[in-house]
Chains A and B, each alone.
Chain A
Amino acid sequence: MTITFRKERLDRGIKARSADIYALASWRELAYLLAPRMLLIGGVLAFPLLRGLVDAYWLRVMLMACTIALLALSWDLMASVGLVSLGQAMFFGIGGYITGYLSSTLKWPPFITIPIATVAGALLCATLLYPVLRLRGIYFALITLSLPQLFERIIEATKILGGTDGMSGLTPLPDITISLYVIIAVLFATFFGFRRLIDSDYGLVFKGIRDNDRSVIAAGINIYWYKAQAVFIAGLPATFAGAFMTHYNQFVGMSSFAADYSVLPLTSTVVGGIGVFAGALLGAFLLVPISEVLRAYGTLRVVIYCIALVVFVVGRPEGIFRYAQRKYHQFERPVAVEE
C-alpha cells in the first residue's frame, strides 16, 4: 500500500451565490468580497497623498501608469470586438495634437480643450479607421501599426502643427496632486463604465462580432457600424490620456506618436490578462513602475523586461489578474490518498 498525495481544491468563496449576486451571511464574507477591491482602489486613491513622503518622481511615475492604464483599457475594449490594435499611439497623439492646437492658437483653457480633444479625437480616429474595419486580425493590426508613423511623417514633412519642434508653452495643469486625482477619477470612470458596457446586451454584440461575425450579420446587425462605435468608445480614454498629458507636459510633439504608447498598453493587457479590464489596470500599475525601477540597469532593463514578458506570455497566458483571482477564491492543499 502506497500513500500518494493529490491536490484538493477548496472553494473559499461565499456559499450562497449565483453568477453575480452574493448572499452575504457575515461581516467576514463582506470583508472577503471587499478586501481585494478596496485594497486596490484605496491604494490608488491614497497614493497622491504620499506627496511629502515619496519623491515627486514617483508621483510622475504614477501619472504615467494611469496614462498607460487608460490606453490599456482602450486597447482591451477594441480587442473585445475583435480589433487587435498595435497603434494606440495614434489615439494618444491625435488627442494631444488637437488639444495642443486649441491651446496654442485659441488660448482656450485646459478644462475646455481636453474634453473637446477627447471627443473630437475619438471621432476622428473612428472615422479614419472606418474604411479598414472590415479587415481582421493581423491585417487590421498592420494598418494600426503604420498609422501613428504616418502621422509623424506627415507632421515632419509638411511642418504643420509645429513640425519637428512641436508646440510648447501650453497652459499647464494645476499641481500634480490635483492632476493625479483628475486622471484617477477618469480612470475609474472608464474602468467601471467599460465593465458595465461589456456586460450589457450591447456589449454582448461586441463579443459576438469578435467570436462569430457571420452569425451577427445573420442577426441583422451592421457589424461595421458596431465596430466603429467600439473604436469611438475605446478611443475616448486614449485621446483623453493624450490631451491630458499634453497639458501636463505643456508640450506636444512627434513623440506623442511614439511606439511606447502602443507597446506598453498592449503588454500591460497581456501581462494583466486580456478580456478583463481589471487585468489591464493591474498590468499597467505593475509594468510601468517596474520599468522605472529597471531604468537603473541601463540598457539591460529592456532585456529583463523582455524576459519577464516572455515568461508571462508563455507561462501565464491567462494573465496575472485571473491567476490571482483563482488563487484568492480557491486554495489547494495536498490530501493523502491510499492506494
Chain B
Amino acid sequence: MANPILQVDHLTKRFGGIGAVYRISFDLQPGEALGIIGPNGSGKTTLVNLITGFVKPTAGRVTFRGREITNLPAYARVELGIARSFQMVRPFYNLPAFKNLIIPLFSPRVGKRVGGKSGNRDEVAMHLLEEVGFERDSQVPYKVASSLPHGYLKRLELARCLALEPELLILDELFSGMSMSEVASVLPLIEKIREQGTTIIMVEHRLRELFRIANRAIVLNFGEKIAEGKPEEVIADEQVRKAYLGSEDA
C-alpha cells in the first residue's frame, strides 16, 4: 500500500472519568472515503474533533501525510489541508451567505491564490455557492445567513470546507436535517469531490447516502471501534446490528 494520508493510532479521549473515544486506530489511504457510523453518543464527533484538533487527546497519535499533528492547533491543521464541517451549523449569521465564504478565502491556505489581502473574493465565493446549489441568479446568495433555511446552511457549511481546497474533507453529519431533494442535489457533488481525489471521512446516520460515498466504514460503540470493513459487510455484522440497529431489527 502507498503511504497513508492519515494515521490514527490508539487515539483516546476521556472527559473526566468517562472515555468518549478509546484506543481507536485506523489508516486512511489517499482518495479513500471512510464512513464512521455508530449510535448516538458513541464518540463519532469526538473522534472528528480529535482529528481536526478542536479537542486535545488524552493519549494516542494522529499523523497526517507522515507528519505528526497530535499537538498541532486546529487552524494549523486546516492549513495542512484538513477541512471539516460542523454537525451543528454555526455560520456568520449576520453576514450575507456569500460573505460567509470570505473568511475561509482569506485564510493562509488559500488566501494567496485568491488575490492576497486585497483580492476580489466575492466572485470566488459566488462560484463556490453555485457549486453547492445556491442559484446565482436568485437572491439567495445575498441573503443574510440567519434568514436561510437549514438545508442551505448545511450547504453553506460544505461550501466553507470546499473554499479551503482540502486534501482531507471531514463531513460531520452533513446530510442530517436536509430534505430528500437537497440530499439528491448534494450527493453527486460529494461523489465528484471523491473522484477528483479528495480523501473523505464522513460521519453519517443516513446509511443510504453513506453507502454511495464510502468504500470502507468503521463502527463505533461506547467510544470503541467494534467493526471495520466494507460498508455492506460491516452493517451485516452481528455485533454491529446489536449495538447500532437493535438486535431484533432485521
Contact = CB atoms under 8 A, between A and B. Distances in A.
Interface of A: 200-202, 204-205, 207-208, 211-212, 214-223
Contacts of B108: 220-221
A221 B103 contact: yes
Given A204-B102, A219-B160, A214 B75 contact: no
B164 A219 contact: yes
Contact of A219 (B76, B94, B104, B117): B104
Contact of B103 (A200, A204, A222): A204
B133 interface: no
A218 B86 contact: yes
A222 B53 CA distance: 13
Given A216-B103, A220-B83, 4 more contacts: A201-B121, A214-B90, A218-B78, A222-B75
Contacts of A207: 92, 95
Contacts of A212: 90-93
B178 interface: no
Interface of B: 52, 54, 73-76, 78-79, 83-84, 86, 90-95, 99, 102-109, 117-119, 121, 160, 163-164
A220 B75 contact: yes
A17 to B, nearest CB: 16
A83 B105 CA distance: 24
Contacts of A217: 54, 74-75, 78
B102 A218 contact: no
B73 A208 contact: no
Contact of B92 (A200, A202, A215): A215
B74 A201 contact: no
Contacts of B73: 222
Contacts of A219: 75, 78, 103-104, 106-107, 160, 163-164
Nearest to A208: B103
Contact of B102 (A201, A211, A214, A220): A201
A86 B152 CA distance: 40
Contacts of A222: 73, 75-76
B117 to A, nearest CB: 6
A202 B164 CA distance: 17
B102 A215 contact: no
Contact of A205 (B52, B106, B160): B106
Nearest to B115: A201
A198 to B, nearest CB: 13
A215 B106 contact: no
Nearest to B73: A222
5 contacts: A201-B117, A207-B92, A208-B95, A219-B78, A221-B106
B160 A215 contact: yes
B167 to A, nearest CB: 13
Contacts of B76: 222
Contacts of B92: 207-208, 211-212, 215
A221 B74 contact: no
A204 B106 contact: yes
Contacts of B106: 201-202, 204-205, 219, 221
A260 to B, nearest CB: 34
Q: Nearest 6 A-B pairs (CB), nearest first?
A: A220-B78, A219-B104, A220-B107, A208-B103, A222-B75, A220-B109
A216 B103 CA distance: 7
